[in-house]
Amino acid sequence: MRKKWKQYQRQYREKKRVLAEVLNLTPPSLNSIEDDQLIGPPEPIVVVADHDYVQPSLERPQASSTPVRAVQKSTSKHRAVLKEREKLRFELIKIKKELKSERMKAKKLQRKVDKLKVNKGKEVSVRNTKRDKKKIAEEKKERVVGFLCRDENSRMLSGKKDTVTKNKMKHQRRVLLHSLKDLHSNYNTTALKHHAVSYRQFLRYCPFYVTQAKESDRNTCSCFDHDNFKMIVDRLCQTNSISELLDTIVCDSTNQKCMYRLCKCCYNEVEFEGPLHDSIITWEQWERIVVTLEEKKSAKD
């Protein structure tokens, strides 16, 4: 194949050279003709026929058909680079998605900030949707249960049998130290405005294992002085709560000096609303009685 191409190229160059010589011929001048006539006829040119000569063709030789090189297979290094590039592309897509979500969150927060700036100094109304109502009700219930389970409001019974089971949930019983009305008023004073509840809701949110004290729950006798004082308060005052009565007598019921009658402000001042002087009031009191028991005679006597 290579030899044929070389032969065609050689013929093409020869043909081109002959054409150039033919085109470059100039007609003979008059002086040259006269000189030729004076000199005489030219000598004849002997042309030797060459049978092996091949006249070159005027056509352009065909282009060489070089063999197509085989595509080299990718090496292991090239494969690793491609794999790393694909991995980076997926990571870039993931980062773009995360960036988009973070921008959406930032826009939402910016809207909330703008609303707070507009509503600054105004009371923001709570949405009355079902989901918000459920959340608020659950928060209220959790706060009421936590308030009633405090040691200052109830005490846990230590007996092994002092347990209550409801819906396969077993809890140790707790006994209230104050009345439910006092606990309800204390809860509303300490709780936030949107966590305040009515007395009926307070009873409904009360857990099943927190109950009022019974006679069987008391392992010791009741205090003689405290029980008598409570009976007097129930008859003389218009309130059944001793804590409310103390607030009307002393400056601060949480101050030790006021409770020990050492405060100069409320030492002699005792003012509280009582019944009319004309009415006769009766109440009950516990009294101590000394009883002597005779010794039992022995069986021998």
Q: Which of 229, 227, 223, 278 is nearest to 249 (CA)?
A: 229
Q: Same structural domain for residues 181 and 227?
A: no
Residues 179 and 200 in one domain: yes
Count of domains for the chain: 2
138 plus 207 within the same structural domain: yes
Kindly state whether residue 117 falls inside one of the protein's structural domains: no
Residue 292 lies in a domain: no
Residue that is last in its domain, among 176, 211, 246: 211
Q: Are residues 140 and 169 in the same domain?
A: yes
Domain assignment of residue 273, yes or no: yes
My answer on whether 242 and 263 are in the same domain is yes
Shared domain for 205 and 231, answered yes or no, is: no
Same domain, yes or no: 234 and 196: no
Report H helices in the chain.
2-23, 30-39, 76-118, 130-148, 180-190, 199-205, 224-236, 242-249, 256-259
* Gap between the Cα atoms of 136 and 164, Å rounded: 28
**Contacts of residue 263, Cβ cutoff 8 Å, sequence gap at least 6:** 250, 251, 255, 257
User: For residue 25, what pLDDT is reported?
Assistant: 62
249 plus 276 within the same structural domain: yes
Residue 94 belongs to some domain of the structure:
no
Its domain, for residue 230, covers: 221-285
83 within some domain: no
Residues 199 and 140 in one domain: yes
> How many other β-carbons are positioned within 10 Å of the β-carbon of residue 253?
15
31 belongs to a structural domain: no
Tell me if 160 is assigned to some domain: yes
Specify whether 180 is located in the same domain as 241. Answer: no
Q: Which of 177, 192, 211 is the last residue of a domain?
A: 211
Q: Are residue 198 and residue 256 in the same domain, yes or no? A: no
184 lies in some domain: yes
Which residue among 172, 193, 211 closes a domain? 211
Inter-residue contact 227 to 286 (CB < 8 Å): yes
Per-residue pLDDT 10s for the chain (301 aa) are: 788 888 888 888 888 888 887 777 655 544 444 444 444 555 554 444 444 545 555 555 555 554 444 444 557 778 888 888 899 999 999 999 999 999 999 999 998 888 888 776 555 454 555 567 788 888 889 999 999 988 888 888 888 888 889 888 889 889 888 888 888 998 998 888 888 899 999 999 999 999 888 766 665 556 777 778 878 877 777 666 677 777 778 888 778 888 888 888 877 756 656 655 567 778 888 888 888 877 655 544 4
